[in-house]
Structure 1
Amino acid sequence: MLKLNNTIEPHKGERILYSGSDLESAKRAMILIHGRGATAESILSLSNEFNLEDTIFVAPQARDFAWYPYRFIEARAKNEPGITSGLTLINSIIAALNESGIENNSISLLGFSQGACLTIDYALRYPKKYAGVFVLSGGLIGDVINPNDYKGDLENTPIFFGCSNIDFHIPEVRVNESAEITKSLNADVTVKIYENMGHTINEDEIEIINSILLK
């Protein structure tokens, strides 16, 4: 449906799934980024939880079900070219949505796990006013996070971080560190750490996302 330009390997040419409104009638969009070992179908099913009208939901598929090969707290170089390919793909989707008449402030981004890491990394490397950014069990990518690597203005974009305090994959300290850097780029940041939750998405997170998007 979307015509994408400037995508690069390894995720170039992978399928993109859609639900909700068609592109011609949509007034806003949500891009959903799946986690490691998951599919575009699995993350797209989450769109049924959001009370959004006139919205097109867009879910790209990663090559071999992973956006990058190693843990997100490894050195970035170890996870290339997957990271850059994923960021470029998100950027191409947003550019195509812009071309269809949907502006950035009507586009939200949501990711879970590995997809959440890619989502917040994208938002801070391409800072602008979005409808919302939802980081479900994720944080900024890299073994060491340098705040000086992130510049620009998120223009009070609402950004939500939700994660468990015992998530083996996502250290709580990285979630909080990522949130602080995000605040420094003029975002409206909310962080919710859930006691003893598994590596999953819970109903409270869905309610928070709906409350942000329906304001």
Structure 2
Amino acid sequence: MRRGPSLDEARAVCVLLHGRGRSPEDVLLLAERLGLDDVAYVAPAATDNSWWPGSFLAPIAENEPYRSSALGVVEALMHSLGDPSRVVLGGFSQGACLAAEYALHHPARYGGLLFYTGGFCGPRGTIPPRLGTFDGTPAYLGTSDPDGWVPAWRVQETSAALSAVGASVTVDVFEGMDHLVNDAEIEAGRALLQRL
């Protein structure tokens, strides 16, 4: 599902991955809040509205083959969009986890990374891969502490993992915000997209 100008006419492309039990229509509400008319927004759909069945903190094998299938969806989409330096990859909740997992397994100079309440997959102690460099890709991670689904420590670990391979990361942790995207996070996302 898409919003905004055609891919050829857009100044930039923003991929938004929806959360568990949600839909592309839901996550594209973020596009309306971001309010940039020169950005094309693309939101793929998960089968049965979930990218994988279990917690993203479960052992990786417990969410297979769904996790690998979800990564394949993102990989095919990213390849279809061409130059990653004009693409911002983002999402909310489970979608942000999928975006983080994809990015850490496919580092490149993206236009940006925009993870609203999400982090890489695997239980505590998981070490993400170091497969290349983000070459200064700007990344914004926002979350609540506490959050019922995504612990702040995993968001911080994701920030460290991105920084370790060359991303320029900003993290905001909002105390007691609940599981949502607030106006400050939207403004940070808008600023990231406007810098492209």
Query: Is the shorter-chain TM-score for this pair beyond 0.5, marking a shared fold?
Result: yes
Q: Which residue of 2 aligns with 1:181?
A: 161
* Equivalent residues of 1:21, 1:55 under 8 A apart: yes
1:73–1:20 Cα change, 3 Å: same
Are 1:161 and 2:141 matched, yes or no?
A: yes
Runs of 5+ consecutive residues of structure 1 not aligned to the other structure: 1-16
Match of 2:34 in 1: 50
Q: Is residue 103 of structure 2 the alignment partner of residue 88 of structure 1?
A: no
Q: Residues 66-93 of structure 1: CA distance to partner in whole angstroms, max 9, x if unpaired?
A: 0000001000111111111111111111
Q: 1:33-182 counterparts in 2 under 5 A?
A: 33-98=17-82, 103-147=83-127, 149-182=129-162
Q: Does 2:7 correspond to 1:23?
A: yes
1:199 counterpart = 2:179: yes
SS at match of 2:43: strand
- Alignment match, 1:214: 194
Find the aligned partners of 1:127 and 1:160 in 2 and give their Cα distance: 16
Residue-by-residue CA offset, 1:109-150 (whole Å, 9 max, x unaligned):
111000010001111110001111111111110114443623
Q: Is the 8 A contact 1:138 1:175 kept in 2?
A: yes
CA distance in 2 between counterparts of 1:93 and 1:129 reads 16
Name the SS of the counterpart of 1:149 in structure 2: coil
1:151-203 Cα distance to aligned partner (Å, 9 max, x none) = 21001111111111110211111111111111101100111000111001100
Q: d(CA) in 1 for partners of 2:192 and 2:41? A: 17
SS of residue paired to 2:141: strand
Q: Is the 8 A contact 1:113 1:136 kept in 2?
A: yes
Report the 3-state secondary structure (helix = DSSP H, G, I; strand = E; otherwise coil) of the residue aligned with 1:134.
Answer: strand
Runs of 4+ in 1 over 6 A off after TM superposition: none
Provide the C-alpha distance between the structure 1 equivalents of 2:12 and 2:120, rounded to a whole number of angstroms: 26
- Note if contact 2:7-2:13 (Cα within 8 Å) is conserved in structure 1: no
TM-score of the two chains, using structure 1 as the length reference: 0.87
Judging changes above 3 Å, is the alpha-carbon distance between structure 1 residues 172 and 59 closer, same or farther for their aligned structure 2 residues? same
Tell me if the contact between 1:160 and 1:189 (Cα under 8 Å) persists in the aligned partners: yes
* CA radius of gyration, larger in: 1
- SS of equivalent residue, structure 2 residue 169: strand
Unaligned runs of 5+ in 2: none
SS in 2 for 1:143: coil
Alpha-carbon shift at residue 43 of structure 1 (Å): 0.5
Q: What is the rounded CA distance, in whole Å, between the counterparts of 2:43 and 2:8 in structure 1?
A: 18
Q: Would you say the 8 A contact 1:75–1:144 is kept in 2?
A: no
